[in-house]
Amino acid sequence: MIEITPFLKKMLSLPGLSGYETPIRDLIAETWRPLVNELAVSRLGSLHGLRRGEGADPRPRLLISAHMDAIGLMVTGIVEGFLRITQIGGVDDRILPGQPVVVHGRQVLPGVVVKPPDYLLPPNKATRTVPLQYLLVDVGFPPEEVNQLVRPGDLISFGQEPFELSGEALAGHSLDNRASVAALTVCLDELQHLRHTWDLWAVATVQEEETLGGAFTSPFEIQPHLVVAVDVTFAKGPGSNDHNTFPLGKGITLGWGPNIHPALFNAFKDLAERLEIPFTMEAMPRHSGTDAYAMQVIASGYPSMVVSIPLRYMHTPVEMVSLKDIYRAGRILAEFIARLEPDFLKKFTWED
Amino acid sequence: MATREQTYSQNPKIGPDQIKLLEKLSNACAVSGDEGEVRAIVLEELKSSPSEIQIDALGNVLVTCKAKKKNPLRVMLAAHMDEVGFMITEKDEGGLCRFDLVGGIDVRYLAGKTVLIGRKHTCAVIGAKPIHLTTEEERKQAFSLDSLRIDLGSGGNDGVKVGDRAAFATTFQQSGPSLMGKALDDRLGVATLIELVRNAPPDIELLAAFTVQEEVGARGARVAAYTMNPDIAIAIDSTPAQDLPSWDDTENTRYNTRLGQGPAIYVADSGTLSDPRLIRFLAETAEKHNIPYQFRQPGAGGTDASQIHKQREGIPSISISVPGRYPHTPLMIARLDDWQNTLALMHAALQTISPDLLKRPR
């Protein structure tokens, strides 16, 4: 039995910005190694874990992806020992001032994003946001040393340590999407005492936040029969209480829309009802905003599904999830695999 | 020359023990009006000191270090224990709290930060609406205080109640020449004052006030000065170093102070016109001992001296600060050598300060 909270907190303490996932991949590989039969790394850096089923060769294959890359910042220039920055992935400028960060230069440097005083900025109202182009990162070293230690293109990851909160909640940066990597790990762990006929390919993908690079390439290599993306979705919280948000800790969401095969949705929905796993149908009218968008259209196309974990404050360093929802996502994935009959695909038809 | 070096070598040094103490002080939470955690550290640190210690009606820690001669000069030193932070003003059953500010905080620093609430340091976060659900126009407008919440998690037995204080949750660390942490304004002053009490000079009566409520109007210092009734007062604080580049590369002429240039001596801020004899005395002392120093650019801001100098019949006062970048935000940066030089200057000044100073022309 894997202890998920310490594993997740360890993941949240590691960098792994899109395109530079090595530190996080190494940790996931170490955790998955005893849970899978084979481990491999794709050409772009995605982690592929194979757990063989008990069915007769050739077995059908299910691919479950959870992207492991994280948003962050990058150095664009150095001025008087301060770093100018740009974003990797979507970051709201308004969460940056005062944010502790880690600059990955010739050595690892703790620092902070700072908002220069208003009189050093172009005339602006105090109630207006200071745009990213005027924000700086200070690493506390004199200019001549900064010039030696840092150069444009160096990565900057968020420096907030993960926080355990009351009510089985956890906060930290990169919970999008390491919460889903944790759920996929729960699934692999549950499968240690469940039998399954299909092969499972657990995939931690790269570059989701920028190009979906991992999701476009891993299915091509694995050639699965079904694909499932596990990701996070918007939890209800301050400033986000619309119909397209979901209660935190009250269950997972099952995606529905053009990125999702309706028969696969129905299979998950039936299973969730049978297992009494609380869920909400999440309407995804266009782009699902997940790996499924890419995986669905690889090669001749694959039936795809999206399972999501509600998360508050997405793309901030204080993203928040409920551990209960992570376990729920992991459990439904494991039970789904365990119930996949060898001939599931034959019964898998359009109902029109 | 030999004597000067001898004097200097007796100066207390900032070593691993002092940095460890600063770390403890920086990580402690003591929002104005709730300074108990820092007060406890101060009392613990001075427990074996031979000085007299009292806690007054507002919570100030007042320390008297007796002189070894008669009719000594009575010198008050003040460092404030409190920090800026928040108070919980409303809490719902889901663990979401409205809050108000305690002290001067720019609300643009709050979204996406972690906080610690109450004596148990209960963890919570101040979130922000996901960027995916915002419009470009919306993102140009800063978050208002009214739209932000302190979030305790998905609702549980967290023990937090309305009225509890919250502070930024930053953990202190040292990096290269710098010290990074929250509330270095004024834990640097508190740590300095503890060292000065431990190395109290024999010829003066040293009156050390660890004050409360500086960030909400220097109210602790006001009553402390009355009680202590000193001849001279020096506030030891931390002042902003605004030595950042300007957006269009024009010269930054309003830097206030610069990191690495030594202790900042105050001439004037919006609360105090420093006593000119004390300005000259501190500058001369620094020069005599080859201690780097800088004059803080006259301008806005205030310290405990703003209240102290108007107490009773008037008390000649000045402030001296360790420069620090980004005060009143989740993370400050200060330099170890500025702190060392502040301690050195204060220690050297206390060795030589005498009643004659007040007989000099202003």
Between CA B275 and CA B267 the distance in angstroms is 8
CATH of the domain at A93: 2.40.30.40
Q: Residue B4's pLDDT band (boundaries 50, 70, 90)?
A: very low
- Does the pLDDT of residue B236 top 90, yes or no? yes
Residues of B in contact with A160 (CB under 8 A): 114
Q: Do A120 and B245 touch (CB under 8 A)?
A: yes
All structural domains of chain B: 2-83+182-359 (3.40.630.10), 85-168 (2.40.30.40)
CATH of the domain at A297: 3.40.630.10
A345 in any annotated domain: no
Residue A200, Ramachandran bin (φ over 0: left; ψ between -120 and 50: alpha; else beta): beta
A330 in any annotated domain: yes
* Token pair of A41 as six digits: 């790394």
Q: Domain ends where: A112, A135, A158?
A: A158
Q: How many pairs of residues across A and B have Cβ atoms under 8 Å apart?
A: 215
The distance of A111 to chain B (nearest Cα, Å) reads 8
Q: Do B153 and A169 touch (CB under 8 A)?
A: yes
Same domain, A239 and A153: no
What pLDDT tens digit does each residue of chain A (352 aa) get?
778 999 999 999 999 999 999 999 999 999 999 999 999 999 999 999 999 999 999 999 999 999 999 999 999 999 999 999 999 999 999 999 999 999 999 999 999 999 999 999 998 877 789 999 999 999 999 999 999 999 999 999 999 999 999 888 999 999 999 999 999 999 999 999 999 999 999 999 999 999 999 999 999 999 999 999 999 999 999 988 888 999 999 999 999 999 999 999 999 999 999 999 999 999 999 999 999 999 999 999 999 999 999 999 999 999 999 999 999 999 999 999 999 999 998 887 777 6
A28 in any annotated domain: yes
Q: Chain-centre distance of CA A98, in angstroms?
A: 25
Interface of A with B in 300-329 (CB under 8 A): 312-318, 320, 322
A167 in any annotated domain: no
Same domain, A314 and A298: yes
Same domain, A39 and A22: yes
CA atoms within 13 A on the CB side of B251: 1
- CA angle centred on B124, ends B119 and B126, rounded to 5°: 130
Same domain, A83 and A55: no
Number of domains in chain A: 2
Q: What is the ipTM of this complex?
A: 0.92
Contact by Cβ (8 Å): B134, A92: yes
* Token pair of B229 as six digits: 């009734």
Q: Which residues contact A50 (CB under 8 A, 6 or more apart)?
A: A36, A37, A38, A39, A40, A199, A200, A201, A202
Same domain, A254 and A301: yes
Contact by Cβ (8 Å): A267, A336: yes
The residue annotated as part of the active site, out of B214, B251, B284, B313, is: B214
Same domain, A100 and A124: yes
Same domain, A55 and A85: no
Same domain, A154 and A177: no
* Entry pTM: 0.93
Q: Domain ends where: A126, A158, A190?
A: A158
Amino acid at B344: A
DSSP codes, A239-282 = TB-STT-B-TTS-EEEEESTTS-HHHHHHHHHHHHHHT--EEEE
Same domain, A264 and A275: yes
Between CA A169 and CA A173 the distance in angstroms is 14
Q: Which residues contact B80 (CB under 8 A, 6 or more apart)?
A: B186, B189, B190, B210, B211, B212, B213, B214, B215, B218, B220, B221, B237, B304
The distance of A302 to chain B (nearest Cα, Å) reads 27
Contact of B132 with chain A, judged by CB distance below 8 Å, is answered with: yes
Contact of B309 with chain A, judged by CB distance below 8 Å, is answered with: no
Instruction: Give tens-digit pLDDT for A165-207.
Output: 988 899 999 999 999 999 999 999 999 999 999 999 999 999 9
Domain with A89, as residue range(s), is 72-158
